[in-house]
Chains A and B, each alone.
Chain A
Amino acid sequence: MNLRPTKSKISGRWVSELELAVALDRAVLTPNLRRKLATSQHPAGPATLLGAESVHFIWDLKQSGRDLADNSEALVSATLQWLDSLLLQSETSQTLQALPDQGDAVQETIIVITASYGEAAKIASGLRPDFANAISRDLSRLASLNQCTPEEIIRRHLATTYVVAFCGFQPGFAYLEPLPGSPAIRAPRHEAPRAKVPAGAVALGGPYCGVYPSNGPGGWNIIGLTEMRFLDATSGRELWAPGDLVRFSGVAQ
């Protein structure tokens, strides 16, 4: 079932009684829009969840179940119109930012993650043999897939500015997407995930980069290690949010 508000390019599909999925082009989901979607809430009440190429709206059964049963289309239309207005604002602000000498340009802060790569990462891990093997294998795999040296993989990674596209997988994990124009790295996920990837592993998977927040299974290509964590242990709050810019700094060996 496709539901469209009037004069809009976006449409939603129900994936459950209470959850509406809206597919959006990756190019439309700018850092600005991601930040807005993560921080603002539509007054009609559905919670917003971000995906790589989608936004999901989830209503509460107790609060809105009856309304959804009687008046589904009105709620959907209001929500999609709200999303539409955010899209429009985001397009407008992008146009403004593209103009030179714009006095009130948004000041972006960049999160810098210090990490060690390659041989330096092996030493930082205390020469753990499983980690050392994994990082060697993954760097050679990426080098051969991209027809370059392992050093070149790390150079491209360090030359990339990432944006927090969305959070997920585990608490404290963010999918970091390269900004357009970044050097390309092909990094398909492993067919079967490794049973144990150490906390702090810097890894590439598909189009994304990520830092594993805790020890656990993982299917991405490991290239480095950092001591930084992005989950506040006491409050449980994540220390980054969609829209934040991220760069890595470190030594490639």
Chain B
Amino acid sequence: MNPDIFVASLIETLKSGALMQFVGRAKPPMDPWAVRILNRVLGNISPGQPEVPIMECTLTGPIIRARKPAIIAIGAPKGALSLPLWEPIRLAAGEELDLRNLGGSGRIYFGLVRDVDSPGNPYRQFGKLLANSRLRSATPSPSELAYLADGPPQSLGSEMVNLCGQTFRLLPASDRRGLRYKAPREVKGGREIPPEPMTYGAIQLPPSGDPVIVGPDGPVTGGYARIGTVALASLRQLAWQLPGDAVTFTQITRAEALRQALDLEEALARDVVPC
């Protein structure tokens, strides 16, 4: 079923968030793990099937009211909302949830279970993310992004660009296409390079010297010098950032970054326990 119709059959939106959209199937989420955790919490997984779309809200969320008994789960960084996170919440018919204030987080995610008031799927297993799971990410700011430094791009001569030890600020002109940061001091800008493939997390250095991290809706090729890539395990922090937030970078080896990403994969299988 069209996710819009499905959600509209369960809840009505009393006040809409400015930027709400379904992610997880056609559109990649800013936080690659939020969608997968919430679908496991809600029992929305069947073998071989793609992820069920989850709502991604940017800067502010909606006020919603359940049309009939519903089960919702919310994903957000620690302390963002005074509601239980990463576990099913039962809503009685007519009950309202105010998700407008994201408490300092740039985004939240929420998903729903379809067949609550019918016998539904007898195999549906609800889950709950363990309180001490590493998948419960820390507060959004100041955030420390681990990144893999690329070799010196031709366009920058032989110098490596080191992002460590400085504080960058997320600029308001940031969205799902690209996260733009203000460099703390003059950083030598990169020149153009022959366009090369770009993926979510690539760190580009345009001529201005202010780095841009390519977002999930970003261009698939880019002509600015690529100086590094945000580690997979750090990508979700990009989702939580707000304009003005302070960001620092630490370098990480590829082997270590891969190990951390695989740890998160294992945590996903282990830390969502039946409830």
- In the complex, which residues of chain B have a beta carbon less than 8 angstroms from the beta carbon of A191? 207
| Contact assessment for A54 and B197 in the assembled complex, using a CB-CB cutoff below 8 Å | yes
Minimal beta-carbon separation of A209 from chain B (angstroms): 13
Minimal beta-carbon separation of B64 from chain A (angstroms): 30
- In the complex, which residues of chain A have a beta carbon less than 8 angstroms from the beta carbon of B261? 17, 61, 65
Tell me if A's interface is mostly helix, strand, loop or mixed: mixed
Within residues 193 to 210 of chain B, which ones have a CB less than 8 A from any CB in chain A? 194-197, 199, 201-202, 207
Tell whether B4 is near chain A: CB-to-CB under 8 Å: no
| Contact assessment for A16 and B192 in the assembled complex, using a CB-CB cutoff below 8 Å | no
| Contact assessment for A16 and B265 in the assembled complex, using a CB-CB cutoff below 8 Å | no
| Contact assessment for A50 and B258 in the assembled complex, using a CB-CB cutoff below 8 Å | no
Minimal beta-carbon separation of B191 from chain A (angstroms): 11
| Contact assessment for A49 and B220 in the assembled complex, using a CB-CB cutoff below 8 Å | yes
| Contact assessment for B195 and A52 in the assembled complex, using a CB-CB cutoff below 8 Å | yes
Tell whether B232 is near chain A: CB-to-CB under 8 Å: yes
| Contact assessment for B221 and A69 in the assembled complex, using a CB-CB cutoff below 8 Å | no
Tell me if B's interface is mostly helix, strand, loop or mixed: mixed
- Contact for B197 among A14, A49, A61, CB less than 8 A: A49
Q: Interface-forming stretch among A91-99, A124-132, A168-176? A: A168-176
Within residues 130 to 153 of chain B, which ones have a CB less than 8 A from any CB in chain A? 148, 150-151
| Contact assessment for A16 and B148 in the assembled complex, using a CB-CB cutoff below 8 Å | yes
Expressed in whole angstroms, the Cα–Cα distance for A189 and B191 within the complex equals: 12
| Contact assessment for B258 and A68 in the assembled complex, using a CB-CB cutoff below 8 Å | yes
| Contact assessment for A51 and B197 in the assembled complex, using a CB-CB cutoff below 8 Å | yes
Interface string of A189-223 (1 = CB under 8 A from B): 10100000000000000100000000000000000
Minimal beta-carbon separation of A173 from chain B (angstroms): 9
- Contact for B265 among A1, A53, A62, A206, CB less than 8 A: A62
Minimal beta-carbon separation of A26 from chain B (angstroms): 8
| Contact assessment for A169 and B220 in the assembled complex, using a CB-CB cutoff below 8 Å | yes
Expressed in whole angstroms, the Cα–Cα distance for A15 and B149 within the complex equals: 8
Using CB atoms, name the residue of chain B closest to A16. B229
Expressed in whole angstroms, the Cα–Cα distance for A166 and B197 within the complex equals: 10
Tell whether B262 is near chain A: CB-to-CB under 8 Å: yes
Expressed in whole angstroms, the Cα–Cα distance for A61 and B199 within the complex equals: 14
- In the complex, which residues of chain A have a beta carbon less than 8 angstroms from the beta carbon of B229? 15-16, 19
Minimal beta-carbon separation of B249 from chain A (angstroms): 15
| Contact assessment for B258 and A69 in the assembled complex, using a CB-CB cutoff below 8 Å | yes
Expressed in whole angstroms, the Cα–Cα distance for A186 and B232 within the complex equals: 40
Tell whether B259 is near chain A: CB-to-CB under 8 Å: yes
Most buried by A among B150, B201, B254, B265: B254
Within residues 112 to 168 of chain B, which ones have a CB less than 8 A from any CB in chain A? 148, 150-151
Residue pairs across A and B with Cβ atoms less than 8 A apart, 30 shown, are: A13-B150, A15-B202, A16-B199, A16-B201, A16-B232, A16-B254, A17-B261, A18-B232, A19-B229, A51-B194, A51-B195, A51-B197, A52-B194, A52-B195, A52-B196, A53-B196, A54-B194, A61-B262, A62-B265, A65-B258, A66-B262, A69-B255, A69-B259, A166-B221, A167-B220, A168-B197, A169-B220, A170-B219, A175-B195, A175-B221
Residues of A within 8 A of B (CB): 1, 13-19, 21, 26, 49-54, 56, 58, 61-62, 65-66, 68-69, 166-170, 175, 189, 191, 206
Nearest 3 interchain pairs by C-beta: A168-B221, A51-B196, A49-B197
